[in-house]
Amino acid sequence: MSEILFVTWDGGGNVPPAVGIANELQRRGHHVRFLGHQSQAAAFTAAGHPFAGYPTARSFTSDAPSTTAAQLGVFGDRAMGRDVLAELASRQADVVVVDCLLFGVLDALRRAGRPYVVLEHSFDGFFRGAAKGPLGLVLRLRGFRATDLIDSGRLVITTALAELDAGHGQVTHTGPVVTAVRAGGGRPGAEEPRVLISLSTFAFRSLTPTWQRVLDAVGELPASFVATTGPAVEPGALRVPANVELHRWLPHEDVLGQVSLVVGHGGHGTTMAALAHDLPLLLIPLDPKTDQPFVARALEQAGAGRALSRRASPRRIRAAVEELLADGPHRAAAARLGAAIRALPGATNGADRIEALLSNEASAPGRPAAPR
């Protein structure tokens, strides 16, 4: 069996696709380990994966106040690249799977002549578009050519639906890594519809005020709501209406089968999990520099929901929730996308492609096996 190193960072929604594929590879008998921020140690230990924290790279945690400078500091951290090379010198790997945003790592591996797999946890079209904008400009000033580094991967895995991925390159769309089960309750016509509200676990500056506008919007509706705030919002700072059941954390798979609508921020993982349950969404992107507007636009264009500005008034949010709670074409569109997601098990497909790469590399004539 093979030795596989996953290289990640504490970004929140970027982690579940990596863990899902790693779980499948481990189930098949491969030895999988993770290198990431020390703040991730407990979660990976609980998931049963060997984990090591970066010894010299800068620290980072998704529940700390987020700034563009802090994120760019992670994406272009050359110390992180040196830490990965040191890890490989200490314990080799047959393949290194790197989060697509860790350009310091990708650059270090390419310069060292070490092959790698790029793991994209959202739409490839978004990452390519971002590489042409301010993010790409800042990275170029730091000596990184983002698109070249992604395309230099021996394999580029994109855990998304190709039909929603406008402007994508030559990548492998495995399908989203989600638990794909159709919704079983809370459909239109129920005596009291139920709605999941889940905004980001990442501490965006607009997160708390957006939460409050959403809560103010739904308080007068004849529906029940279950809301999960995550670690970045203090529940005590929010005014919570009587029809909202507020949790710091709750497994979404325990809730999605019981609701008829999801209100989210456009995070790719939660959006795809909702669609996998045939659920339409109201998406309120929190940060224009992330993939959230891209995801929200793709969903709205597919007819499976609505997108609103994070500055939308409670009145506009309330009207959108009322519209989406009703029956209509948005439910048929969500069900069509849900069927497409269920037909593409992302974790299985991702593991298949990594295994195929390992097999091809091992059988390449004249190519020595990786030292142990």
The residue extents of the domains of the chain are 3-175+345-363, 194-342
The amino acid sitting at 66 is S
Distance CA(307)–CA(102), nearest Å, equals 29
Q: Output the pLDDT for position 182.
A: 62
Which residue is listed with tokens 């519809």? 193
Structure tokens at 63: 């529940």
Distance CA(351)–CA(179), nearest Å, equals 16
Going by DSSP bridges, is the β-strand pair 194-198/172-173 parallel, antiparallel, or unpaired? unpaired
> What dotted CATH number matches 3-175+345-363?
3.40.50.2000
Structure tokens at 46: 């609980």
Return left, alpha or beta for 278; rule: phi > 0 is left, psi -120 to 50 is alpha, else beta. Answer: left
Distance CA(255)–CA(244), nearest Å, equals 14
- CA proximity to 260, closest of 331, 350, 340, 353: 331
Which of the residues in the chain have pLDDT under 50? 185-186, 366-372
Going by DSSP bridges, is the β-strand pair 281-283/305-307 parallel, antiparallel, or unpaired? parallel
Q: Output the pLDDT for position 362.
A: 75
- Model confidence over 208-247: pLDDT tens digits? 999 999 999 999 899 999 999 988 888 888 999 999 999 9
User: Cβ contacts of residue 167 below 8 Å, gap of 6+?
Assistant: 124, 125, 128, 129
Question: In angstroms, what CA-CA distances link 270 with 144, 176, 285?
Answer: 30, 10, 13
The answer to whether the CB of 81 falls within 8 A of the CB of 144 is no
Q: Do domains 3-175+345-363 and 194-342 have the same CATH topology?
A: yes
For domain 194-342, give the CATH superfamily.
Answer: Glycogen Phosphorylase B; (3.40.50.2000)
Q: Output the pLDDT for position 372.
A: 27
The amino acid sitting at 221 is L
Structure tokens at 173: 């769309």
Ranges of H-type helices in 59-198: 68-75, 78-90, 103-111, 124-131, 134-141, 146-151
The amino acid sitting at 371 is P
Distance CA(62)–CA(252), nearest Å, equals 19
Q: Output the pLDDT for position 368.
A: 41
Three-state DSSP class for residue 60: coil
The answer to whether the CB of 90 falls within 8 A of the CB of 61 is no
Structure tokens at 102: 């860790």
Q: Output the pLDDT for position 370.
A: 38
Q: What is the pTM of this model?
A: 0.91
Distance CA(264)–CA(268), nearest Å, equals 10
Torsion sign across C-alpha atoms 328, 333, 338, 343: positive
